[in-house]
């Protein structure tokens, strides 16, 4: 386990190794400027560093910034992320955000940031329609890429993004962060070990209510040219990722999409019936109009031997039912997934000292950094992003045509 060394802040100029495209070279690094915790911890140990360039400085920009700063505090990743430069369009807001979140430098043009030699990895935290152009430019410049979800706004874009990243031989990841909740990772382990038996049902709801509020603020999320879709790409993309991660590939969809606002050009709600490769059935419902549900991302899986339930708003708890339990004692037990046995949770605090939303990103970003440091492609990758996009497109087509569609 790495430990925090505040005395490292004292050193002015240190020699550190820079990881670029799987090779390393030497550079002189001045740590007199604002730095992340990671650098402070390891700069005098000759650790490899990965210099991050992040684009977009609001919600996800802040969440990812926190994750880069926090990950080295808890995880040994083989390299330390450096908060090298952040990009956004409004220079005043950008400078304030850069200073507040610990970035060394900022660029008002993301293209210039991608061209810089002192950036190893690009993190895309901008609205959906901009992912494509940025990811392609990043791949062409040989930068590793972490991209927010959904990967793109069309299948063709998603396909090209995967192709470009593979051709450039860079590490590529999509930020389906809920996979990285310890309870979800533990559920994956239980399912893989056969604890639930053959899976029959996957059920997911992802419900929000912000758009139903009378004072809902204008957002790019309801502008189709920027978002690509509404609740579908925003929320169901996450549920689909959990379904694929925990149960397997989806081969058939029947869907419905609706809007409650006049002249809306994106869906406010979407629902889908699905069939998985392995014979399981799936039911998905997402909405931005489900009053009282702030961020209610819930799943239930039923197998031949047992079931699990999970709810993001109580994300440390996994509800587990096992048929093999003694008669009279059967029922859902609540496992607080903060024990040594629970993936990722064991890097943090003693059992029962719970984790939060931000830790799903810290865990995922630790895998991004580890993947770059070791040259090993982590998941979810752009392949997962493309597969997700194929399903989003099939769902949209099914809703439009009223047909049940098979998915290759």
- The answer to whether residue 333 forms part of the interface with ligand NAD (CB under 6 A) is no
Q: Among 107, 120, 123, 148, indicate the residue that binds ligand NAD (CB under 6 A).
A: 148
Cβ closest to ligand NAD, residue 40 vs residue 152: 152
Q: Among 38, 88, 228, 306, indicate the residue that binds ligand NAD (CB under 6 A).
A: 88
Among 272, 234, 229, smallest CA distance to 395 is for: 272
Token pair, residue 207, equals 């419900």
Q: Among 70, 84, 130, 393, indicate the residue that binds ligand NAD (CB under 6 A).
A: 130
- The answer to whether residue 61 forms part of the interface with ligand NAD (CB under 6 A) is yes
- The answer to whether residue 55 forms part of the interface with ligand NAD (CB under 6 A) is yes
- The answer to whether residue 132 forms part of the interface with ligand NAD (CB under 6 A) is no
- Nearest distance from residue 203's CB to ligand NAD, in Å? 20
Q: Among 35, 60, 146, 399, indicate the residue that binds ligand NAD (CB under 6 A).
A: 60
- Nearest distance from residue 216's CB to ligand NAD, in Å? 14
Q: Kindly state the number of chain residues that form the binding site for ligand NAD, as judged by CB under 6 A.
A: 21
- Nearest distance from residue 119's CB to ligand NAD, in Å? 15
Q: Among 70, 84, 126, 239, indicate the residue that binds ligand NAD (CB under 6 A).
A: 126
Residue identified by tokens 């639930």 is: 196
- The answer to whether residue 59 forms part of the interface with ligand NAD (CB under 6 A) is yes
- Nearest distance from residue 259's CB to ligand NAD, in Å? 18
- The answer to whether residue 303 forms part of the interface with ligand NAD (CB under 6 A) is no
HSE, CB side, 13 Å, CA atoms: give it for residue 226.
Answer: 8
Rounded to whole angstroms, the Cα distance separating 286 from 272 reads 9
Stretch that binds ligand NAD, among 87-95, 183-191, 253-261, 311-319 (CB under 6 A): 87-95
Cβ closest to ligand NAD, residue 135 vs residue 337: 135
Look at phi and psi of residue 88 and say left if phi exceeds 0, alpha if psi is from -120 to 50, else beta: beta
Q: Among 143, 149, 172, 359, indicate the residue that binds ligand NAD (CB under 6 A).
A: 149
Among 257, 308, 250, 265, smallest CA distance to 285 is for: 257
- The answer to whether residue 85 forms part of the interface with ligand NAD (CB under 6 A) is no
CB atoms within 10 A of CB 96: 13
Which residues from 96-125 bind ligand NAD, rule CB under 6 A?
110, 125
Cβ closest to ligand NAD, residue 50 vs residue 60: 60
Q: Among 53, 72, 81, 127, indicate the residue that binds ligand NAD (CB under 6 A).
A: 127
Stretch that binds ligand NAD, among 42-50, 81-89, 209-217, 280-288 (CB under 6 A): 81-89
C-alpha torsion sign, points 83, 85, 91, 95:
positive
> What are the residues whose beta carbons fall under 8 Å from the beta carbon of 342, sequence distance 6 or more?
182, 183, 185, 186
Binding mask 229-258 for ligand NAD (x = CB under 6 A): -----x------------------------
Cβ closest to ligand NAD, residue 36 vs residue 230: 230
Phi, psi of 42 (to 5 degrees): -125, 0
- Interface residues toward ligand NAD, by CB under 6 A: 55-61, 87-89, 110, 125-128, 130, 148-149, 175, 177, 234
């Amino acid at each position: 386990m790495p430990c925090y060394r505040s005395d490292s802040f004292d050193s002015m100029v240190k020699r550190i190794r820079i990881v670029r495209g799987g090779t390393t070279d030497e550079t002189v690094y001045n740590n007199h400027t604002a730095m992340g915790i990671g650098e402070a911890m390891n700069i005098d140990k000759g650790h490899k560093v990965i210099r991050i360039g992040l684009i977009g400085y609001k919600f996800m920009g802040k969440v990812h910034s926190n994750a880069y700063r926090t990950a080295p505090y808890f995880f040994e990743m083989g390299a330390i992320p450096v908060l090298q430069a952040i990009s956004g369009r409004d220079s005043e807001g950008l400078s304030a955000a850069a200073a507040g979140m610990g970035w060394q430098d900022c660029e008002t043009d993301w293209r210039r940031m991608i061209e810089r030699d002192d950036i190893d990895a690009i993190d895309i935290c901008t609205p959906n329609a901009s992912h494509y152009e940025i990811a392609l430019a990043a791949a062409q410049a040989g930068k590793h890429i972490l991209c927010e979800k959904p990967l793109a706004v069309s299948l063709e874009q998603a396909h090209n993004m995967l192709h470009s990243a593979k051709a450039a031989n860079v590490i590529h990841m999509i930020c389906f962060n809920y996979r990285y909740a310890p309870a979800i990772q533990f559920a994956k382990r239980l399912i893989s070990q056969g604890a639930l038996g053959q899976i029959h049902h996957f059920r997911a709801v992802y419900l929000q209510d912000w758009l139903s509020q009378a004072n809902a603020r204008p957002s790019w999320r309801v502008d189709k040219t920027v978002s690509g879709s509404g609740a579908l790409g925003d929320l169901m993309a996450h549920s689909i990722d959990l379904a694929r991660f925990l149960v397997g590939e989806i081969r058939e969809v029947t869907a419905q999409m609706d809007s409650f606002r006049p002249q809306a050009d994106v869906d406010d709600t979407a629902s889908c019936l699905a069939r998985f490769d392995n014979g399981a059935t799936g039911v998905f419902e997402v909405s931005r109009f489900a009053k009282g549900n702030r961020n209610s991302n819930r799943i239930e899986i039923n197998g031949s031997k047992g079931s699990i339930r999970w709810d993001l708003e109580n994300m440390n708890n996994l509800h587990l039912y096992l048929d093999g339990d003694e008669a009279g004692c059967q029922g859902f037990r609540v496992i607080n997934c903060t024990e040594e046995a629970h993936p990722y949770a064991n890097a943090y605090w003693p059992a029962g000292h719970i984790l939060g939303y931000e830790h799903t990103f810290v865990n995922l970003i630790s895998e991004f950094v580890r993947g770059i440091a070791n040259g090993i492609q982590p998941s979810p990758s752009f392949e997962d992003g493309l597969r997700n996009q194929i399903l989003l497109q099939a769902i949209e087509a099914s809703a439009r045509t009223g047909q049940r569609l098979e998915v290759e």
